[in-house]
Amino acid sequence: MSAPAEQPAGLPGTGAPVPAATVPAAPVPAATVLAATGLVKVYPPAGRAGQPSIALAGVSLNLTEGACLGVVGESGCGKSTLARLLVGLERPTAGSVLLQGQPVTSFRRPELARHLQLVSQDPFSSLNPRLTVASALTEVLLVHRRVPGKKEAAARVAELLDMVSLGPQFASRLPHEMSGGQAQRVAIARALAAQPKILILDEPTSALDVSVRAGIVNLLARLRAELALSYLFISHDMAVIRQLSDQIGVMYAGRFVERGPWQSVMSSPLHPYTRALLTAVPEPRPDGSLLDSADHIAHDAPDTSQVQVAASARTGCPYFPRCPIRIDKCLTDDPPLEVVTGAHEAACYRAGLAVESSGGVPVESGSPPVERA
């Protein structure tokens, strides 16, 4: 039995899946629902000889009511650590998280869960394998007193399933009786059962097949509009991030290296790392652009541990070793995240130059970068 076809999430005529950010009108001062200031997370060394690894090296952000902040980056950039700190699963080494203006640590856990829910990559790991969908949802409804009693819960379970475009027959299913896409819909329904205002979505579509992923992305767009939710959407996939976000933040080595309105970040990226990321996305158009441009790459990227070492060295820009447009200053000074144009920020001394020279087209230098002097 197929799930009922979802309504296209777009607004009629505009083709945009989300109402916000398409027209950058006079900024209405939206309330900040979740704010992070100077978040640092250092993990102790793994072995005796190891170095402590700096997962987050000073991250600040503001999530406004009803907005979607997309956070994109590659493995080891700290994006999942950020998610864990924001939902209070781990405590930051330094810095603070404010929920509705109050420290997230001052909330008791059930109360926190009524504000903020996490949806992760693997729905099967967040669903109890021995609970039916109905029991799993009912449990959440009763714990958070979102329904007066068990009787009312059944109706609400049906509503929640309908919200995620699953038929009522799914109420009696166990997790193993569902596909990955169906289980992810249930995980989303379970997060929504607590009636949070904020969802932290950590790679919710990364384990899914192409056609299933499309359904979840459209569903998330629709739910945000219908329920006025705020999203922090984490993904390694630039195209998926673009699909849902008002603002896009690009993380590298535990910090934001670029952040701005989605159109600006996608069409005129300021940071060389963002441009490298965009160039590397295999576009579903056989234009050969990926192989052509890649033919010039002569140096390998450092692995995760090297990125972390770069972060812990604390001098210079962490992207220095891979950067095709670096200058001497980048080796000694760490560029702060600063506004370059409008609301578009970048942490790069050469950000302005990058825009002028490339005209916003993602290109990577044809020759290997100059050797360290």
Using CB under 8 A as the criterion, which residues of the chain lie in contact with other proteins when the complex forms? 1-3, 5-6, 8-10, 15-17, 74-75, 179, 181, 209-215, 217-218, 221, 236-240, 242-243, 266-267, 276-291, 294-295, 297-298, 300-306
Min dist CB 143 to other proteins, Å, is 32
Contact 239, 280 (CB under 8 A): no
Q: How far is CA 267 from the centre of its chain?
A: 19
Min dist CB 142 to other proteins, Å, is 31
Q: Which is nearer to other proteins, 10 or 95 (CB)?
A: 10
Question: Which are the contacts of 186, defined by CB distance < 8 A and separation ≥ 6?
Answer: 123, 127, 133, 136, 137, 164, 166, 170, 175, 178
Q: Which is nearer to other proteins, 3 or 147 (CB)?
A: 3
DSSP element (H, E) containing 49: none
Strand partners, 202: 234
Q: How far is CA 363 from the centre of its chain?
A: 24
Min dist CB 163 to other proteins, Å, is 16
260, 266, 271, 273: CA torsion to nearest 10: 130
Q: Which is nearer to other proteins, 73 or 88 (CB)?
A: 73
Q: Which is nearer to other proteins, 27 or 282 (CB)?
A: 282
Q: Which is nearer to other proteins, 108 or 367 (CB)?
A: 367
Q: Which is nearer to other proteins, 2 or 151 (CB)?
A: 2
Min dist CB 239 to other proteins, Å, is 4
Min dist CB 303 to other proteins, Å, is 3
Q: From 292, 354, 344, 345, select the one nearest 323 (Cα to Cα).
A: 354
Min dist CB 202 to other proteins, Å, is 17
Min dist CB 278 to other proteins, Å, is 6
Q: Which is nearer to other proteins, 33 or 265 (CB)?
A: 265
Q: Cβ atoms within 10 A of the Cβ of 32, count?
A: 17
Q: Which is nearer to other proteins, 89 or 301 (CB)?
A: 301
Contact 82, 247 (CB under 8 A): no
Contact 191, 106 (CB under 8 A): no
10 Ramachandran zone, left/alpha/beta (phi>0; psi -120 to 50):
beta
Q: Is 117 exposed, middle or buried (0-12, 13-18, 19+ CB in 10 A)?
A: buried
**Strand-pair category, 255-261 with 247-252:** antiparallel
Tokens of 11: 């607004």
Min dist CB 314 to other proteins, Å, is 22
207 φ/ψ angles, rounded to the nearest 5 degrees: -95, 5
Q: Which is nearer to other proteins, 122 or 237 (CB)?
A: 237
Residue 274, SS3? helix
Min dist CB 3 to other proteins, Å, is 7
